[in-house]
Structure 1
Amino acid sequence: MKYICMIVDGAYPNDIRVRKEAESLAENGKNVLVVCPRKKNDSQSEIINNVTVFRIGNNYTNSKKGIYDIIESVTNINLLFYKGLKLLFQKYEIEYLHVHDLPLAGTGYLFKSRVKHIYLDLHENFPEALKTWFLWKQNKLIQLKNSLFMNPKLWSKKEEKYCKKYDKVICVVEEMKTKLITNFSIDTKKLIVVSNHEKKEFTENFKHAVAQNIINKNDFSITYVGGFGPHRGLQTAIEAMPKIVEKIPDAKLFLIGKGSVDVENTLKELVAKYNLTKSVIFVGYRPFEEVSTIMQQTNVNIIPHLANAHTDNTIPHKLFQIMMSKSLLLVSSCKPLQRIVTKYDAGLVFKADDAEDFSEKVIDIRQNYDQYQIKTENAFNAVMHKDENWEAESAKILSLYTE
């Protein structure tokens, strides 16, 4: 039995992009093997929705990952995955190797001669992401480690090197494809765009109940769902709240998700600075089955990303999930967000990193709420009846394995 082998340095099936790609291939008769690290209490192997999952190592922790990251940065080899793949090539007949994201590119390339084709799937502009991910880190040792081993210039060289070596490179948005062509003169024929669209069946999630009464119907709710980080732009939303509350006393900003201790402390310090403890609610993590219902219940869903070379070259899954929710959408002027929302008149756009413009847009939404509801219908039609869904997008990934 011949396999398509995907490798990812993350939890499976938690990684939404990897899961959708793997399951789509399996649904179309392909044998798919996903290789990922094994955390404490994880099964070493199992089959999930016809996808074979094999977890390597034992008790994979953040500390262990940090050590592997350092070694990988210097040698281009992730020792955990190198040993794991050597074992798996003895156990399985692997025809294709599909490597998820830049850090594993060097390790995967060592096995190029043993497969028919090797593909590199870039989830984001990794070198530029390194400039933003660690901005709020307080630990001096971690700061030193990141400056030495997670240096954006170093990783940009790796990006160019492996994009030229792999048979195909999968980009998450058109902007990323353009960036690779412009910066590195990558042959356009080897680049394919497979974006983070959502399956139409995601709408079934809106039927789930929420265990807690998070959003009060008497509040004008502004909701963010997702991870917290410097690049997410949550600081912009918080800084906008004093003016919003002045005009809309019942406005509440709900932050649903988690971030590192340093990130959450930075955001909470901002809330305290502006005396917003009653207007900004840190909800924390909520189960995935509840999140979509929360998206639907809120008055406004926000994606306030800062605009930079990282966020301009990737796109969040939640954009398309919110478009399915028939709830109003407010996004920043990041290129992919603005492009899609403007194309379908699917929401409103504010100037990224501009708290004043954010507040003005929210106040305008409140004052003209009913007339803006047409935008929610436009968004829903775009993802359900046009090509902004996974059913259409997945055809691109399938073509790689049926040519």
Structure 2
Amino acid sequence: MSYIAMVVDASYPNDIRVRKEAESLVNSGNKVVVICPHKKNDDKIENINGVNIFRIGTNYSNSKKGLHDIFESIFNINLLFFFGIKKAMKQYSIEYLHIHDLPLAGTGYLFKSKVKKLILDMHENYPEALKTWFLWKKNPIIKLKNFIFMNPILWSYKERKYCKKYDTIICVVAEMKQKLITNFNINPTKLVVISNFEKKEFASNFLNSVAQNIINPKDFSITYVGGFGPHRGIDTAIKAMPQIVAKIPNATLFLIGKGSFAVETKLKEITREYKVERNVKFVGYRPFNEVSTIMQESSINIIPHKSNEHTDNTIPHKLFQIMMSKSLLLVSSCKPLKRIVEKYDCGVVFKADDINDFTDKVLMIHQKDNLLNYKKHNAFDAVMNQGENWEEESLKLHSLYTYI
């Protein structure tokens, strides 16, 4: 039996989207090999839940990735992955090549004649993401490198080029599909939306509370969970805290997660500037079983993303995780977030990047907490019973490999 080869420039099984797709395909009777970089202490070859892992290179690091990214931006080829895919093809009978995200599209396309079908899985609007990811970088050398090699105009050209060349394009949200049709005139028949929904079984994480010393029930807790970045809108929440604390003295913003040195430095500068050091807690990473309890015990869970061409064309896994937690959800007006929350009336929406509206919505939630409990139940019902789950969404992935 031939293999589906998934190629990803990230650790496996850490990448949630790749793991869910690979395991779903294996569970539906396919053979899957994931080609990904080897990091220190990783096994070169491994099998995890039926998925074959073929790790390439040696002790992959951020500096090595940076060099490969520069070479790839110039020549449309990542040499590590080019030779890694060639090596994998000698070991496995690969029939389909499933490339994850735009940076590896050029490398994957070089194997078009070797496989039956080429699939490009677009996790996000990559060119637009480049406009936001590096906004808070201060190192002039890094800024120059990003301007030359990670230029959004260059990557938009690559996006158009490879979306036209690949056989099938997977989009993470309907907004991304429409963007490719409108901007690049991509044939709609080769576009399929497979979103970042969670498995129903994920809800079991919220059945048993564990000990945690982050959330104090005496506080009005406003909790953000996830990676830190300029596009995440965490700065909006921090800047709103003086107004919020003036009306809710026990309000505290908890930031669960991490970001780059530049991002964390910027956020801490904003915290000091707005004099809310006592009301903003940089918690760092916590084990997920603890995070699930933190979500449930928080007064509000927030996804305050700024609205731009990047965030309006992707969606975070944590939206559906929070919906499963039966906790109150406050999201920005990014198109996919707003669409889902309003469709199911399962949370509150504030105007993205608007400090005053964020404040108003938090104060309203504080005043009407008990009256909003129905939104928590709507959220849980949407993911468990209304099709907003991976069990339903993965059927489109299975069909893709059944009929192409």
Normalising by structure 2, report the TM-score: 0.99
Q: What displacement does 1:209 show?
A: 4.6
- Describe the superposition over 1:90-143 as per-residue Cα deviations: whole angstroms up to 9, x where unpaired: 111001000000000000011111111110000000000000000000111110
2:305 corresponds to 1:305: yes
Q: Deviations over 1:15-44 (max 9, x none)?
A: 000000000001111101001001111111
Cα contact 1:205–1:289 (8 A) shared by 2: yes
Look up the match of 1:165.
Answer: 165
Matches within 5 A, 1:22-101: 22-101=22-101
Q: Distance in 2 between matches of 1:157 and 1:71?
A: 17
> For residues 295 and 278 of structure 2, what CA distance do their matches in structure 1 show?
21
Mapped contact 1:208–1:290 kept (Cα < 8 A): no
**1:322 — aligned with what?**
322
Count of residue pairs the alignment pairs up: 403
How far apart, CA to CA, are the structure 2 residues paired with 1:288 and 1:133? 25
Q: Hey, what's the Cα distance between the residues in 1 that align with 2:209 and 2:325?
A: 14
Displacement of 1:207: 3.7
In the TM superposition, what is the alpha-carbon distance from 1:164 to its structure 2 partner?
A: 0.4
Amino acid at match of 1:390: W
Paired residue type of 1:399: S
SS at match of 2:5: strand
Partner of 1:351: 351
* Aligned residue number for residue 261 of structure 2: 261
1:205-224, CA deviations, whole angstroms, 9 ceiling, x for partnerless residues? 11455454110011011000
Q: How far did 1:204 drift? A: 1.1
State the distance in 2 between where 1:397 and 1:355 align: 39
Q: Distance in 1 between matches of 2:229 and 2:343?
A: 28
**CA 1:81–1:208 in 2, change beyond 3 Å: closer, same or farther?**
farther
Q: Percent identity?
A: 68
Comparing 292-301 and 125-134, the one that deviates more: 292-301
2:153 is aligned to 153
In the superposition, the TM-score normalised over structure 1's length comes to: 0.99
Q: Is the 8 A contact 2:237 2:358 kept in 1?
A: yes
| Aligned counterparts of 2:293 and 2:115: Cα–Cα separation in 1 | 43
Does residue 125 of the first structure (1) align with residue 121 of the second (2)? no
Are the equivalent residues in 1 in contact too, given 2:212–2:294 (CA < 8 A)? Answer: no
Aligned to 2:363: 363
Evaluate the alpha carbon distance shift between residue 276 and residue 73 of structure 1 in structure 2; reply closer, same or farther with a 3 A threshold: same
Q: Does 1:390 align with 2:387?
A: no
Q: 1:175 Cα deviation (Å)?
A: 0.2
What is the alpha-carbon distance in structure 1 between the residues aligned to residue 12 and residue 292 of structure 2?
A: 20
Shift of 1:45: 1.0
Give the deviation of 1:288 after TM superposition. Answer: 2.4
Shift of 1:293: 2.1
- Residue 267 and residue 210 in structure 1: after superposition, are their counterparts in 2 closer, same or farther (change >3 A)? farther
Provide, for residues 1-24 of structure 1, a one-character-per-residue CA deviation record: whole Å limited to 9, x for no partner.
310000000011000000000000
Cα deviation, residue 168, structure 1: 0.3
| Matches of 1:257 and 1:185, distance apart in 2 | 38
Q: Distance in 2 between matches of 1:240 and 1:24?
A: 42
Q: What is the alpha-carbon distance in structure 2 between the residues aligned to residue 254 and residue 266 of structure 1?
A: 16
Q: Which whole-Å deviations, capped at 9, do the CAs of 1:278-325 have from their partners, x for residues lacking one?
A: 100000011223222221111100000000000000000000000010
Q: Give, in whole Å, the separation in 2 of the partners of 1:25 and 1:299.
A: 38
For 2:211 and 2:63, locate their aligned partners in 1 and report how far apart those are by CA, in whole Å: 33
Q: Does residue 277 of structure 2 align to residue 273 of structure 1? A: no
Q: What 5-or-longer segments of structure 2 have no aligned partner?
A: none
Q: Is the 8 A contact 1:207 1:293 kept in 2?
A: no
C-alpha distance in 1 between matches for 2:331 and 2:340: 10
Partners of 2:89 and 2:2 lie apart in 1 by: 11
Q: 1:139: which partner in 2?
A: 139
Aligned-partner SS, 1:305 = coil
Question: Do 1:296 and 1:327's aligned partners in 2 also have CA atoms closer than 8 Å?
Answer: yes
Whole-Å Cα distance in 1 between the matches of residues 42 and 139 of structure 2?
30
Separation in structure 2 between the aligned mates of residue 23 and residue 37 of structure 1, nearest angstrom: 19
1:140-192: CA deviation from partner (whole Å, max 9, x where unpaired): 11101000000000000000000000000000000000000000000000000
Q: Does 1:229 align with 2:223?
A: no
Amino acid at match of 1:26: V
Q: Distance in 2 between matches of 1:211 and 1:281?
A: 18
**Unpaired runs of 5+ in structure 1?**
none
> For 2:198, what is the secondary structure of its paired residue?
coil
Q: Deviations over 1:324-354 (max 9, x none)?
A: 1000000000000000000000100000000
Partner of 1:401: 401
**Distance in 2 between residues matched to 1:345 and 1:228, nearest whole Å:** 27
In structure 1, distance between residues paired with 2:141 and 2:241: 35
